[in-house]
Amino acid sequence: MKIQNPHDKFFKETFSNTAVAKDFMKNYLPKSIINIVDIDTLEPQKDSFINEDLQEVFSDMLFRVNINKREGYIYFLFEHKSYIGKNISFQLLKYMIEIWESKIKKEKADELPMIIPLVVYHGSDEWKIKTTLGEMIKGYGELPEDVKKYMPDYEYLLYDLSKYTDEQIKGEVQLRILLTIFRDIFSKDSKVVRKTVLRAAEYLKELDDRQTGIEYFETFMRYILNARQRLTKEDVNDIVENIEKTYPEGSEVVMTLAEQLKEEGKLKGIEEGKLKGKQEGFEEGETKALSKSAIRLLTKKFGKLSEETKSKIEKLDSITLEIIIDQIFEYKTLDDAKRYFD
């Protein structure tokens, strides 16, 4: 049950089901795009373009599909952090270039396939930055139009789940559950998460296949119990009690998973009656992984770090570490990063 990155696991387990990916595209791609995309040709690819250092921040999935009767790709970048990164358009461009380079090297291609980039964001803050590369180029917006054509620019499709109401979340059962849970997982109010679990269970009643429903219930409960840091014993008991009324098949699943997590130290609060604000075991493991990534990235960029600097980084909280990692490409000197820990 040990899950180092529950966001990544839940996202990929669900979207690896081609039917769910097709469902998303049919319901959320702009009409102008869906009109030229042959959804029936959609095929998930095994490639991932996220390097080890950024796996705590991003997940990705690449799908091959015919676009305008030619080979093309739809690239999903899933940002699983609770704040917004300003350099996302640059990061996404790097991944698209890697896809093109892979085509050139493996297939000796002299033409590049079309790539439609999508970003799915589920942080607690509303996404307020623009979705173009040009916004990152200083003074780009002030240039004459006939000069802009000499500089790279593109726009990505953004799906900011924090803005979606229940009525705006469309699609079949598994897709609606995924998007609803991702929208609410960072809520500060545990009652919101409890309601989300019950709503997801209600959605499962629409499935004709009972076994599929139970399996997916277990999938999303694993995610919630691993990713959620504020669930108390009372929260879990409330979920079990209400699940027994609305989706009795799931009550045993919740109790079993909670017991497993308690034994691993991730839900100590279930035994103690409280979590003291956080699931200490999981939070500690996640923070250690982030600090290692931050140290590795800073070392690659600026050379060997002093033991004092490493020690300061290791004492940072997970949010600060995520900020340091996300802004790594913007630092010109180590001092730019040090403002977070000196």
**Every domain of the chain and the residues it spans:** 6-163, 187-272, 288-338
CB atoms inside a 10 Å sphere around CB 198: 18
Closest CA to 159 of 32, 38, 29: 29
CA distance 182 to 176: 10
Comparing 71-85, 212-226, 265-279, the range with the smallest average pLDDT is 265-279
pLDDT-derived band at 137 (thresholds 50, 70, 90) equals: very high
Q: Is the pLDDT of residue 283 over 70?
A: no
Contact partners, residue 204, CB within 8 Å, separation at least 6: 173, 177, 213, 216, 217, 247, 250
Mean pLDDT of the chain: 84
Q: Amino acid identity, residue 183?
A: R
In whole angstroms, how far apart are CA 336 and each of 50, 300, 332? 24, 15, 7
In whole angstroms, how far apart are CA 162 and each of 70, 79, 182, 184, 235? 34, 13, 9, 8, 22
Q: Which residue has the tokens 């676009």?
A: 67
317-329 burial code (b ≥16 CB/10 A, e <16): ebebbbbbbbebe
Q: Which residue has the tokens 């070392």?
A: 299
Comparing 83-92, 97-106, 107-116, 266-275, the range with the smallest average pLDDT is 266-275
Contact partners, residue 271, CB within 8 Å, separation at least 6: 233, 262
Average pLDDT over residues 145-168: 93
pLDDT at 276: 43
* DSSP type of residue 291: H
pLDDT at 93: 94
pLDDT at 113: 95
Contact partners, residue 167, CB within 8 Å, separation at least 6: none
